[in-house]
Each structure stands twice: as C-alpha cells, then as structure tokens.
Amino acid sequence: MGNTFLKWAGGKHWFVNREWHRLPVNYNRYFEPFLGGGSVFFHLHPQNAVLSDINQELINTYTAIRDDVNNVYRNLKTHEKKHSKEYFYTVREKKPRTNASVAARMIYLNKACYNGIYRVNKAGKFNVPYGTADTVCFNKSNLSETSKDLKNATIICQDFELTIDMAQNNDFIFCDPPYTVLDDTNRFVGYNADVFSWEDQIRLANALRRAKDRNVKILMTNVDHNSVRALYDNIDGFLLESIERHCFISGTNEGRKKYKELIVMANL
C-alpha cells in the first residue's frame, strides 16, 4: 500500500486492495484529475505524474509535502502536542499563511475530526466536528516517504478538463470524479453536487471521449446509475463494468452500506 496521508470521502483505498489488477503496467505519464487522497497514485508510484484538483487547499498540502516536508512535520508536532477538543476548534477557525502550515492544518484536522472526512460549507470553511481521539500521532518517516513519491509529480490546481486534455498517446488517466447523478425529475443530486454538477459529468464524458480517441489509457470509477451509464454506453472503445462494494466513511449507519460502482475503461 502507498503512502496516502489523508482520509478522503470517496477515496480509492478499497480499489487498490480489490481491483488493482485492472490498472495498466505499462504507460508513459500518469494523470489524476480528481486527486483527493491519491490512493491509486501512491499504489502505482509512477515515475512521471500530473496530479490535479480544483481544491486549492488540497493542492497546497500536496505541494508542501513534496517541497517542504520538514516544516510540515514541525507544524504537525505542534498540533500533536497541543491536541485537545478546544485546540481542534481553535485550529479549525484559523487561516494559516504558509504552505507548510496550511498542509499541517489540513492533515491535523483530517486526523482529529469525526470519521476522518474533509467537508467544507458553502463559504469554503472546514466544518467537520471534533472526533473521539484523545491523542493524535504523526510519523516523520511516513511523511518523508510520501514526499519522495511526489518529487517527480507535477501538482496543479486546475479544472479536470484541462488535465485530461494534457494526456496523449499511451498516457494513463485514472479518473475518480465526485458522484453526481440525475434523478427521475432530471435534477442533479448526490455527493458534492454543489461543486460537481450534472453538466460537469457531461463535460467529463466528452473530455474522456477525446482522450480515448488520442489512444490514452483510461480507467474511471463513477456511480453506477443509468444517467451516468448513458454517457458511455454503446460508444465504441468504452468498456463498462459494475462492481459492488461497501462504504465505511459515511457519518451515519444508514450511509455505511453496499452499493454498486461503475468502472469505465478504454485502451487498457
């Protein structure tokens, strides 16, 4: 398993454990346009990678770990020593100024918050409540290994379409978008629908079609829903498969259940 350092809603730890055999062995560059926790990147350890996300705080965190891991760890040790419920809420309200302190704040809150999820309100403020851990610990050697993994990666804050359009012949895109679907009344609903609309799902499908035609290797995970399937069904070159998995990261028992996930592949 690779050096993932964030727990992320919709993360693909389960995928690299169960479905790793689907990932290609040979490719030129690795592209991940919805970075999140980066489970697949850390599993593959690609020599040449382009990692992107629209979340500026997330990208700042990855960049700081790549370029300034010692200062990130120094900040984390401060959080570790001062950790308490009161301290957690103090940190949650702060806006750090340096990339290293931004990264340490994000990692600390992710470790100390309830159920280890990243969520912001409409004002962009992290709003997950305090978790249950009396202590938090951060391992310098793990962070240093993560920093090494990221040394050859280009890390960019940008729209997914720009990243997908960068990929060329024999590159590999792993794509894990937020899950947004159309309901029976043609309203878009689902996880992160505020920041990833149904129009974005359509835009994503069009970008992946263009990439497929450039002979880019593609593996996408998405929600297995008729409206999403329709974007890729019966299009020459796309292979669709449905798998069933458990979701454990939900904050409610009702959310922790089995559900189907769609895998879309091309040129593999």
For residues 22 and 79, state if they share a domain.
no
Distance of CA 131 to the CA centre of its chain: 21
For residues 207 and 110, state if they share a domain.
no
Rounded Cα distance, 222 and 179, in Å: 6
Rounded Cα distance, 32 and 237, in Å: 20
For residues 172 and 255, state if they share a domain.
yes
For residues 73 and 199, state if they share a domain.
no
Could you tell me which residue, 195 or 149, shows the higher pLDDT?
A: 149
Summarize pLDDT for 99-126 with one digit per residue, the tens.
999 999 999 999 999 988 888 887 778 8
**Final residue belonging to a domain, choices 147, 177, 208:** 147
Strands 188-189 and 181-182, bridge-based pairing: antiparallel
Average pLDDT over residues 4-22: 83
Summarize pLDDT for 151-167 with one digit per residue, the tens.
999 999 999 999 999 99
For residues 228 and 97, state if they share a domain.
no
For residues 99 and 126, state if they share a domain.
yes
In a domain, 48, yes or no: yes
For residues 94 and 214, state if they share a domain.
no
**Final residue belonging to a domain, choices 124, 147, 170:** 147
Could you tell me which residue, 172 or 11, shows the higher pLDDT?
A: 172
Angle at 259 between CA 255 and CA 190, to 5 degrees: 60
Q: Count of CB atoms within 10 A of residue 46's CB?
A: 22
For 111-131, give the DSSP string. HHBGGG---B-TTS-B-PPB-
Share above pLDDT 70 across residues of the chain, in percent, rounded to a whole number: 87
For residues 73 and 202, state if they share a domain.
no
Rounded Cα distance, 165 and 112, in Å: 37
Predicted confidence band of residue 254 (pLDDT cuts 50, 70, 90): low
For residues 165 and 38, state if they share a domain.
yes
CATH number at residue 175: 3.40.50.150
For residue 180, what pLDDT is reported?
63
**Final residue belonging to a domain, choices 122, 147, 172:** 147
Cα separation values, 240 from 19, 29, 237, Å: 14, 23, 10
In a domain, 47, yes or no: yes
For residue 204, what pLDDT is reported?
97
For residues 162 and 262, state if they share a domain.
yes
For residues 118 and 204, state if they share a domain.
no
Task: Number of helices (H) and strands (E) in the chain: give both, helices first.
Answer: 10, 9
In a domain, 137, yes or no: yes
Phi-psi region of 246 (alpha: psi -120 to 50; beta: other; left: phi over 0): beta
Tell me the pLDDT of the chain averaged across its residues: 88
Domain of 215 in residue numbering reads as 13-54+158-266
Which of 119-123, 192-196, 220-224 has the weakest average pLDDT?
Answer: 192-196
In a domain, 59, yes or no: no
3-state class of 174 per DSSP?
Answer: strand
Rounded Cα distance, 135 and 250, in Å: 22
Element (H, E) at 245: strand 239-246
For residues 34 and 120, state if they share a domain.
no
In a domain, 76, yes or no: yes
In a domain, 7, yes or no: no
Task: Provide the number of structural domains found in the chain.
Answer: 2
Average pLDDT over residues 247-264: 65
For residue 198, what pLDDT is reported?
86
In a domain, 4, yes or no: no
Which of 83-97, 111-125, 173-187 has the weakest average pLDDT?
Answer: 173-187
Cα separation values, 205 from 30, 94, 119, 227, Å: 19, 38, 26, 12
In a domain, 261, yes or no: yes
C-alpha closest to that of 218 among 159, 162, 176, 158:
176
CATH number at residue 132: 1.10.1020.10
